[in-house]
Amino acid sequence: MNVKLLPVVFLLSTFMMSEVFATVELPFLFSDGAVLQRNETVPVWGKAAAGRQLIVEFGDSDGNWHTQFSARDAGGPFRLTVSSGDHSVVVRDIWLGDVWVCSGQSNMEWELVNTRGAEKEIQAAKNVHIRQFKIPLSWSATPADELAGGSWHPATSQFVGNFTGVGYYFAKKVQAETNIPIGLINTSWGGSTIESWMSSGALNKSQSDTAKSIARVVADAGMRAEKISRTFARWPGAVVRELADTRVVNADWSGEDIDESDWLPLYAPLLWEKQTYNGVDGVIWYRKSFYLNAEQVKSDLILGLGRIDDNDTSWLNGKKIGETRAHDKIRQYRAPADYLHKGKNQIAIRVEDTGGGGGIYSGEQLLYLQTKEGARRSLAGEWKFKAEKVVISPEGEMNYVETALYNKMLHPLFKIPVKGVLWYQGESNAETAARATRYKQQFQSLINDWRAHWRNPELPFYWVQLASFNSGNDTETASPWAILRASQTAALALPNTGQAITLDVGDSEDIHPRDKKTVGYRLARIALSKTYDKKRLRTVDGDDKVKSLEISGPDGIFYPVDGELAGNSVVIKSALIRSNAVIRYAWDDNPEKANLADADGLPAEPFSANL
């Protein structure tokens, strides 16, 4: 395929500058493999030495420049060249297509590699017309002009495992139906609240007030980090600059007779971030003892250790009983009878936290030891812990801070046109009924605000309603998750919105259901209908066949036929099809078998037509 050069305008300046300043910088979004929005005027901007010859419309005296190229249809690949003096930047393999912003918390951030059916999907992936730009986790006290980083990657086996699972399946479906290149800008952060994605204006606050609030959060976090560092100083060498520091030798505190005199108390189940150890990532050991009588040591035990964020290796009396590498999988390990002692027994757990929350968490009912008879003894309560190798970040919870993520991970995107937004967030705002109720106003305010900044009052905005999950926050009088779902549904009052229902693909024991394919496809169906005007048909009874169809024979008598759905069409195969035949549907006083409907489930009207 021929490579096309985007049209640009030269500007010649008479200022003379040293060659060392003749470099050109482009935003991260304009990098090899980029997908830019078709049929929209797309701006291009950057930095260069002031006064040098640039392939731009004009150059500012401070070295900032910008230009734009006119709207054009989908296609590619294109090449963009920007020069200043002897220095040039060439961006290759640019495609014009549709750019969808994927935002929210962990269920949007959830990578394809961790979803159901991932191995087969990744192995087969080879679609270079689907690409992702992942924005790194970052924040700012005030609205930023540029992103912290990022690069474009195609949906091939090498890269697709790191795509947002929901976004990937959305793009796969839409791209297959439209043959238009799809670019996904993945700007999501696990655990983030809606407030962190809202501008100061959307929160009805001044920018100076939110900036001061963020500054206070950062200052408080810095003081907490310093206090934690002083506490952890009892373990020389435990606090490191990087977890990849190979100079730190892995400890082994799995044995029965470990000196615990310098260990500290820690409650379980509860993330250690919620026990004053905010911003701590790395390796921490847990230990707890329990006692058995002579009868109890004759049979195997089951140790329920709940969920552990992120990975664990567990021992009983110095013997390994299990290992799991998943932050949300419930641990149940068997302890053979020959591992047990009459009297004192010792559990040791090496916990590896790669980021975010850390430690043993989830419900107390999941933390127990179970005897042969089925009786359970709770292991909830005080444990002892010691840090092996950790980093302490004073900014580990910026995903909870109002406007912080909006300022850095979203605001820079308003410079470029996009096709629409996909949103999967709300779990962090469903902790209480009051917060879930507030979400109704907040969500609509966020949608309107983002649209205003993109200068597109009807920018498509589609979201995922919270899936089923046993959150443990239900009370006798209120269900926060149910209230939040209602708050999400209320936003359908806004134009050009859509909601994917996922109650049937949730997991009562896992806040991160692994079926992202169904979720992505449901969002895609909304977009195909509302944005791409590809109205789809379906049957109300889930049957593959369209019933209540008849075709006239040469004898003038109507004979029943079945139809097959094919997108927005019904395909009929019959020997009776001819130029003067009549086809009719639901043509009866009581067409009780009629089952054809549109994408929203509304029944199709009866008809009779000549072929």
- Rg (alpha carbons) of the chain, rounded to whole number: 29
What is the average pLDDT across 605-610?
A: 80
| Nearest residue to 34 (alpha-carbon basis) of 90, 95, 80 | 95
Q: What is the mean pLDDT of residues 148-157?
A: 97
Give the confidence band of 68 by pLDDT, cuts at 50, 70, 90.
confident
Looking at residue 289, what is its pLDDT? 97
DSSP-derived secondary structure letter, 290 = E
Contacts of 511 (CB under 8 A, 6+ apart): 106, 107, 328, 427, 469, 471
The pLDDT tens digits for 262-310 are 999 999 999 998 898 988 999 999 999 999 999 999 999 999 999 999 8
- Reply yes or no on whether the pLDDT at 451 is more than 60: yes
1 class by beta-carbon count within 10 Å (0-12 exposed, 13-18 middle, 19+ buried): exposed
Closest of 148, 219, 194, 104 to residue 403, by C-alpha: 194
DSSP strands (E only) in 87-206: 87-104, 126-134, 152-156, 182-188
pLDDT at 52: 61
Q: What is the pLDDT of residue 535?
A: 73
Structure confidence at residue 194 (pLDDT)? 98
Whether the Cβ atoms of residue 335 and residue 286 lie closer than 8 Å to each other: no
Closest CA to 89 of 54, 64, 115, 121: 54
More confident site: 583 or 197: 197
Reported in sequence order, the residue ranges of 230-310 that DSSP labels E, i.e. its strands, are 264-268, 280-292, 301-309
Distance CA 60, CA 44 (A): 14
Higher model confidence: residue 279 or residue 411?
A: 411
Question: pLDDT at position 564, please?
Answer: 87
Given a cut of 90, whether residue 7 has pLDDT beyond it is no
Q: State residue 16's pLDDT score.
A: 30
pTM of the model: 0.78
Q: Is 476 helix (H, G, I), strand (E, B) or coil?
A: coil
Q: What is the mean pLDDT of the chain?
A: 88
According to the per-residue pLDDT averaged within each range, which of 53-67, 320-334, 335-349, 396-410 is highest?
Answer: 335-349
Using DSSP, how many helices (H) and how many strands (E) does the chain show?
8, 32
- Determine what percent of the chain is predicted with pLDDT higher than 90: 63
Query: In angstroms, rounded to a whole number, what is the distance separating the alpha carbons of residues 410 and 187?
Result: 7
pLDDT in tens, 185-218: 999 998 899 999 999 999 999 999 999 999 998 8
Share of the chain above pLDDT 70, in %: 91
Smallest CA-to-CA distance from 556 within 589, 580, 572 is with 580
Rounded to whole angstroms, how far apart are CA atoms 357 and 308?
10
Give the pLDDT of residue 15.
29
Rounded to an integer, what distance in angstroms lies between the CA atom of residue 420 and that of residue 417?
Answer: 9
What type of residue sits at position 92? R
**What pLDDT sits at residue 1?**
37
Check whether 366 has a pLDDT greater than 90. yes
The DSSP line for 354-400 is -SSS-EEES-GGGEEEE-TTS-EEE--EEEEEEEEEEEE-TTTTGGG
Tens of pLDDT, residues 453-501:
999 999 999 999 999 988 878 887 889 999 999 999 999 999 999 999 9
Tens digits of per-residue pLDDT, 510-519? 888 999 999 9
pLDDT at 53: 63
Q: Is the dihedral of CA 578, 581, 584, 589 positive or negative?
A: negative
pLDDT tens figures, 505-544? 998 878 889 999 999 999 999 999 999 988 767 787 767 7
Length of the chain: 611
61: pLDDT strictly greater than 90: no
- Whether the per-residue pLDDT at 428 is higher than 60: the answer is yes
- Sorting pLDDT into bands at 50, 70 and 90, what band is 600? low
pLDDT confidence band for 65 (50 / 70 / 90)? low
Q: How confident is the model at residue 51 (pLDDT cuts 50, 70, 90)?
A: low
pLDDT of 76 above 70: yes
What is the spatial distance between Cα 492 and Cα 443, in angstroms, rounded to a whole number? Answer: 11
pLDDT higher than threshold 60 for residue 135: yes
Per-residue pLDDT band for 56 (boundaries 50, 70, 90) equals very low
pLDDT the model gives residue 120: 96
Distance CA 210, CA 194 (A): 15
Looking at residue 508, its pLDDT comes to: 84
| CA end-to-end distance (rounded Å), the chain | 42
CA-to-CA distance for 420 and 458, rounded, in angstroms? 9
Three-state SS at 544 = coil
pLDDT at 611: 81
The whole-number pLDDT of residue 18 equals 35
C-alpha distances in Å from residue 502, one per residue of 422, 464, 479, 517, 520? 15, 7, 17, 11, 10
> Helix, strand or coil for residue 197?
helix
